[in-house]
Chains A and B, each alone.
Chain A
């Protein structure tokens, strides 16, 4: 009995200490990436390449999901609001929910699944096939050459993807509510402009998307760099990237929302 409890406690302690150590290692790694990111800007074509892989190739999924999310919001918003005789407010509902929450959060979740996992798998495989070690042998710093551009590529892509997601979603809502259902277009836009504030909503949504971009790509490059150099290790690391960056996005979203919208 005592034996079992003791070993259980030992396991718990190991897990907790291991987690904290990993967090510390992750923080150190993040600092290192920032310190050595001069290469990412000096040789900007490396970063451009990563923006292409992380951002441009995510465009299709971002635009299509944004469209559908906006259309659903339009339908649901109209359905509920017309009961209160204010169908025109569907515009402000769609715009506010997209700009404040859904745009940054859903775009970041999709980005974590589409680009974050790819970054982890790529860096993990480079490590598994000793490419990173080979670079070190040639006196090329793998953090500056491989990790930095991927990190900055993701950080640059994410806010633009979130903005595109929001704008496409608003367009999707417009298609449903104005074009299909026939709510007046002028009322739709004017209600939206009356409700959405530039500083409170647009700028805060943009800050959110930047924070999510940093979080997702930081987790992705760290998991890839830290992956055990085996097939199994890389696959586990990829899974962990998606899980922990999704959790990080939702947690950070709560924290940021509490800061941004509770001070009123």
Chain B
């Protein structure tokens, strides 16, 4: 086996391997579609309950990806979850935007939904989102339903 042939084959091998890595990165994984805005602004939102929202979860408005959850911390003064989000600067939202924790599909991942309000002023970097809606916890929902049922039953027996 002479040297030129070896060089050629090793070159082909390296090229194929690097193409495979590139395909893995850009065709298979989310590196191409993931949210990579150069300029983004940060807003915070406080929630009673965030369910299983994680950092890097998508932030969507009308189903369109507009940003990502940067971090989730617990505020010990208000005993609420504080979610920091990074939103692409191309998308401006009014000050009275509502943030709610939603689930994609029946069993899907949780994401943050933004519903724009009607305010003239727009959210700026560092602003808080005042109106928030917590994640729906199934146990609480069922508990509430049973409680209502029991109340109805009690009311009808008294009549």
Give a binary string over B124-157; 1 marks a CB under 8 Å from any A CB, 0 the rest. 0000000000000000000000000000000000
One of B11-19, B71-79, B81-89, B93-101 contacting the partner: B11-19
CB-CB contacts below 8 Å: A209-264 with B:
264
Tell me whether B9 and A56 are in contact (CB under 8 A): yes
Looking at the assembled complex, report how far the CB atom of A98 sits from the nearest CB atom of chain B, in whole angstroms. Answer: 9
Question: In the assembly, what is the distance between CA of A164 and CA of B18, in Å?
Answer: 9
A3-11, A17-25, A45-53 - the one binding chain B? A45-53
> On chain B, which size bracket covers the interface?
20 to 34
Whether the Cβ atoms of A198 and B13 lie closer than 8 Å is no
> Given the known A-B contacts A194-B30, A202-B29, are A163 and B24 also in contact in the complex, defined by CB atoms under 8 Å?
yes
Contact, CB under 8 Å: A198 / B17 = no
Query: Which residues of A30-83 are within 8 A (CB) of B?
Result: 45, 48-49, 51-52, 55-56, 59
CB pair A161 B17 closer than 8 Å: yes
Whether A163 lies near B28 (C-beta < 8 A) is: no
* In the complex, chain B residues 90-117 whose Cβ is within 8 Å of any chain A Cβ: none
Q: Confirm or deny: B37 has a beta carbon within 8 angstroms of a beta carbon on chain A.
A: no
Hey, what's the 0/1 contact readout for B1-36 against A, CB within 8 Å counting as 1? 101001101101110111011011101111111100
Which residues from B are CB-within-8-Å of A192? Answer: 28
B2 to chain A, nearest CB (A): 11
Which of A48, A161, A198 is within 8 Å of B34, CB to CB?
A198
Distance of A50 from chain B, by nearest CB (Å): 10
Number of A-B contacts (CB under 8 A): 79
Q: Which of A160-175 contact B (CB under 8 A)?
A: 160-161, 163-164, 166-168, 170
A169-200 residues with Cβ-Cβ distance < 8 A to B are 170, 189, 192-194, 196-198
State the main secondary structure of chain A at its contact with B: helix
Q: Are B29 and A51 in contact (CB under 8 A)?
A: no
Choose from B6, B18, B25 the contact partner of A202 (Cβ within 8 Å). Answer: B25
Given contacts A52-B6, A99-B24, A198-B30, 16 further A-B contacts (CB under 8 A): A45-B3, A51-B10, A51-B13, A52-B9, A55-B10, A56-B13, A157-B13, A160-B14, A163-B21, A166-B20, A167-B20, A167-B24, A192-B28, A198-B34, A202-B25, A202-B31
Which residues on A are within 8 Å of B, measured CB to CB?
A: 45, 48-49, 51-52, 55-56, 59, 95, 99, 157, 159-161, 163-164, 166-168, 170, 189, 192-194, 196-198, 201-202, 206, 264
Name 29 interchain pairs, CB-CB below 8 A, sorted by A. Answer: A45-B6, A48-B10, A52-B1, A52-B6, A52-B9, A52-B10, A55-B10, A55-B13, A56-B12, A99-B29, A159-B17, A160-B17, A160-B20, A160-B21, A163-B20, A164-B20, A166-B20, A167-B24, A167-B28, A168-B20, A170-B28, A193-B28, A194-B30, A196-B29, A196-B30, A197-B29, A198-B30, A198-B34, A202-B29
Residues of B within 8 A of A (CB): 1, 3, 6-7, 9-10, 12-14, 16-18, 20-21, 23-25, 27-34, 54
